[in-house]
Amino acid sequence: MRAVLQRVTCASVEVNGRVVGKTDAGLLVFLGVGRDDVDDATRGSAEAVLLAEKVANLRIFPDADGKSNLSLLDTGGAALVISQFTLYADCRRGRRPSFTDAADPSPAETLVEEFRVALERLGVRAAAGVFGAHMTVSLVNDGPYTILLDTGALAGPRGRRSAPYGG
């Protein structure tokens, strides 16, 4: 699974002109599910929980001294989770991205929801977009502060890089 986290002061998502999810201060999480994530359902579910724990506990919010010492849980912030299969775009050939590394919609939708539910179990309010819909996402980026997470890289030894970070 891949996630792009953006620290926001607010974010919302619309489908057909109607707001279906929003958050105030917290994180906008674009979440992609790869084919490898759904090959083994147990592993995929475990990765959704691992990623939710990482997102909820990352110390990327400023403390009273302006240092990034607080987590989403510490600040009482919320998350807006948006499914994003394009995080698995392969642009190595030609001019049109290939998305063959992205998971099929049905199992991907299940893992996106498992991630959102895992955030809520940790105590993070988590809204979501509509899986598979054309969504209009609005946000006010705070910082800007943007982080890329990949469960393949999170599981590996520290100091060793793996895709998409330069593997």
Measured between alpha carbons, how far is 61 from 49 in angstroms, rounded to an integer? 21
Task: Give pLDDT tens digits for 150-165.
Answer: 998 887 665 544 445 4
Confidence of residue 10 (pLDDT cuts 50, 70, 90): very high
Determine, yes or no, domain membership for 164: no
**Does residue 69 sit within a domain?**
yes
- Mean pLDDT value across the chain: 92
pLDDT of 157 reads 66
d(CA 29, CA 123): 16
Tell me which residues are annotated as active site.
Answer: 84-86
Q: Quick one: pLDDT at residue 118? A: 98
Is the CB of residue 14 less than 8 Å from the CB of residue 135?
yes
Domain with 56, as residue range(s), is 2-155
131-134 contact pairs (CB < 8 A, 24+): 131/83, 131/105, 132/83, 132/105, 133/15, 134/15
- Contact partners, residue 48, CB within 8 Å, separation at least 6: 1, 111, 114, 115, 118
Please tell me the predicted confidence (pLDDT) of residue 159.
Answer: 52
CATH of the domain at 41: 3.50.80.10
Q: How far is CA 88 from CA 51, 85, 149, in A?
A: 17, 6, 13
Output the pLDDT for position 123: 98
Let me know if residue 11 belongs to a domain.
yes
163 in any annotated domain: no
On the question of pLDDT at 41 being above 90, the answer is: no
Phi and psi at residue 95, to the nearest 5°: -115, -5
* Token pair recorded at residue 35: 């084919």
Q: Let me know if residue 72 belongs to a domain.
A: yes
Q: Does 162 reside within a domain?
A: no
- The answer as to whether 166 is a domain residue is no
pLDDT digits (tens, 9 = 90+) for 114-123: 999 999 999 9
pLDDT in tens, 47-95: 999 999 999 999 999 999 999 999 999 999 999 999 999 999 999 999 9
- How many whole angstroms from its chain centre is CA 89? 15
Cis peptide before 164 (omega within 30 of 0): yes
pLDDT of residue 167: 36
- Structural domain includes residue 167: no
Structural domain count of the chain: 1
Q: How much is the pTM?
A: 0.90
